[in-house]
Structure 1
């Protein structure tokens, strides 16, 4: 009955249009009242939820990504990717995937990736003879890499939702191989489609121009080295690397590239703060919701239910995948991580799944949800950038859903994909 009151009130509030963050907070208050817990305890849980040093990584990474997205870095990364693979048949689709890899490793945001890379490449691909819907599908599919490749904001949120027991550095490293596998899978699909439909080849860029483009993009690519190199060398933590990334992004944008006007900076910071306010409110209220769930022993009950269904870890993982895929189409990624991690983490640890490995399973599942109707945030952004109906984009995305599903199965049932790099680097 306790679970029915808490979860029922949450879903009822969602159905009547209450924003997710406030639905979580109000449901937590209702749950506390039902089990006769002082409301002061809920308030303490709310404040404790955002009183964590590691959370500072999120605003810094978001701000760094925003500066780079609007400061001309996306255009330079596209040009750099074009030097590497643009001359192949269907090369511009590969450029799109590779640019998303580079930009995702800087911004950590699929939406920023889609908006930045899509604004540059969707019109360019159409001009070169690619269907607009195909260009949009490639952009949206490729942007899922940003969820896996460090510095992923969602990895930080997962670490927080896991109670801080999972290292952010381990999660960052765990996402490298799955992210590269996803990019390689989508690139292979683009090559097959390009050959079958005879999409055009690009031109080979002259050596002198190519060297200039590479030198210009190097400043932006250095951000990846600063973030990962600093963390792995032990020079600074993930949170400190985020603040260094902001300083580097500001320096490169304002003093090297000089494409951004100083008077635009307050507006950029204002937009970033608005985004972060929503995220931090969500994290705070989700913490109180998780606190009440723990008091009601809901995670324990769900763990018991799953292990009763089957004692086979592969079956349980498939059931969890189905659950995550279904919920990912109905809710945004961050709230689902905050709600489901405290529920499902005990289930997977009970069957011997490493929490870092499970984090990657969750990222791929919910990343697919971001590009799947009816509530796919990245799908909406891509459709808006391309000025195409969502139905048209979804139809073009169908082959890419297959590729993403294959990557999901590999990440789920090949733990080494997620765990080899963290174990090799962090256990030395």
Structure 2
């Protein structure tokens, strides 16, 4: 029965997605069809709808629309440009300086907005013309932008880690946030190493050294956006507020900075930004609700147990099983967005990982990192297509330049997978985490 349920669930889902049905509806319909094997149609519809609604009834999930709103306010409030100027100061003397600036700015802006797509659009849209003017290959510039924009999904605050916290049974959001720093920074550094090697070979220029006064001024200009990170993370770590309360603080702070301090956003723009954020939030939350329903259907059908047993039959070596899980997630990430992938496959793979003795925080960071690669790989990679769009590069011209960056970020994925302390060192140091 478990095998039949799994075949129906994923078979119907695959068929619906192939025919262009929106992924939220594909997940919901596949879940309902799967449950009709075990319950009557009217019972299946009622139970699935109930599970979707109850799954969204979460104070933690309230952080997602607030962080989306804060990110949209930041996009209009002049924060991206100030972070780019700071990145020029930090990376300006390295070979291929503008490429390094792109990476650093993506790390900074992504960490503030929590969105890879927003970082790819805001930073890439600004950096692409500058790099083209300095003689950079547009495909190389777009590849650097695409490869580095997912760092903000790991460096907190991250909506993706909030989703993992919810579906993993209450893993601490604060612990996950702190655990994401080192892997996110390592991802960015790996992209910078590859970009530096290529830039050195091609002779891309450095940025003229700024004067001390200019460096100080650009640092001061970027201080307020960076202070937001310190307020959010400092407040969460110190227990002053929860991740959800921190998201509301981020909205107020970004609004004050964008409107009253930087003056690059008008209050009259706020209704439009709120509407845009509400639309984005509704799409994300519908996706989460449908995915929660599918997660429940899999648990009801004992699919996680079946998968766990199958993996145990393949190998008893924990290293090999983790490699298999990583390969499966890499494939899943190429055709499924991060949020539904986390919600659907965490209940399948997390029990396997914990049975092997893997810490849930470590597994969450590994899984999030893995699925970050999916958003920069075709055919569904949203951040990849945004980078192509802002860089004015056809997707076919970007795949070859992306290959060395794929190799670099996958290498760091293996480091994150097999060296738990990469994820757990900071939580143990700052939060006294014991697992």
Normalising by structure 1, what TM-score?
A: 0.97
> Do structure 1's residue 176 and structure 2's residue 188 form an aligned pair?
no
Residue range with higher mean Cα deviation, 19-28 or 372-381:
19-28
Q: Can you list the C-alpha shifts for 1:339-389, whole angstroms capped at 9, x where unaligned?
A: 111111111111111111111111121111111111111011111111110
Alignment partner of 1:389 is 2:403: no
Question: Quick one: which of 131, 134, 141 aligns to 2:137?
Answer: 131
> Match of 2:39?
36
Q: Does 1:25 align with 2:31?
A: no
Match of 1:348 in 2: 353
Q: CA deviation at 1:248?
A: 0.4
What does 1:14-93 align with in structure 2 at a 5 Å threshold? 14-36=17-39, 38-39=43-44, 40-93=46-99
CA offsets 1:48-85 (integer angstroms, 9 cap, x no match): 11000000111111111111122110000000111122
Looking at structure 1, the residues matched to 49 and 335 of structure 2 have their Cα atoms a distance apart, in angstroms, of 28
- Kindly report which structure 2 residues correspond to 1:10-409, keeping only aligned pairs within 5 A, or say none: 10-36=13-39, 38-39=43-44, 40-164=46-170, 166-409=171-414
Distance across 2 between alignment mates of 1:291 and 1:44:
11
My pick for the range that moved more, 195-204 or 50-59, is 195-204
Q: Deviations over 1:176-231 (max 9, x none)?
A: 00011111121122222221111111111112222221111111111110111000
How far apart are residue 89 of structure 1 and its match? 2.6
Deviation at 1:238, TM superposition (A): 1.0
Give the conservation status (yes or no) of the 8 Å contact 2:93–2:206: yes
Using the TM superposition, name which of 129-138 and 224-233 deviates more: 129-138
For structure 1, the residue ranges without an aligned partner over 5 or more in a row are none
Q: Give, in angstroms, the shift of residue 31 of structure 1.
A: 2.1
Query: Cα deviations across residues 223-276 of structure 1 (Å, max 9, x unaligned)?
Result: 110111000111111111111011100000000111113222222111111111
Which sits farther off after the overlay, 407-416 or 13-22?
Answer: 13-22
Distance 1:265 1:394 in 2: 38
The RMSD of aligned alpha carbons is 1.2
SS in 1 for 2:357: coil
Confirm or deny: 8 A CA contact 2:111 2:153 kept in the other structure.
Answer: no
Distance 1:191 1:4 in 2: 46
Q: Which moved more, 1:81-90 or 1:365-374?
A: 81-90
The Cα of 1:87 is off from its aligned counterpart by: 2.9
Runs (4 or more) in structure 1 with deviation over 6 Å come to: none
What is the CA–CA distance in structure 2 between the aligned matches of 1:291 and 1:90, rounded to whole Å?
Answer: 49
Task: Give the whole-Å Cα distance in 1 for the aligned partners of 2:95 and 2:325.
Answer: 39
Structure 2: state its 5+ residue gaps: none
In structure 2, how many angstroms separate the alpha carbons of the residues matched to 1:209 and 1:420? 36
Number of matched residues? 427
Once the two structures are TM-superposed, the CA of residue 392 in structure 1 deviates from its matched residue by: 0.9
Cα shift at 1:296 = 0.7
Mapped partners of 1:193, 1:389: distance in 2:
21
State the shift of 1:128 in Å. Answer: 1.5
Partner Cα distance (2:384, 2:90) in 1:
27
Three-state SS of the structure 1 residue aligned to 2:353 is helix
Give the distance between the partners of 2:258 and 2:92, measured in 1 at CA.
25
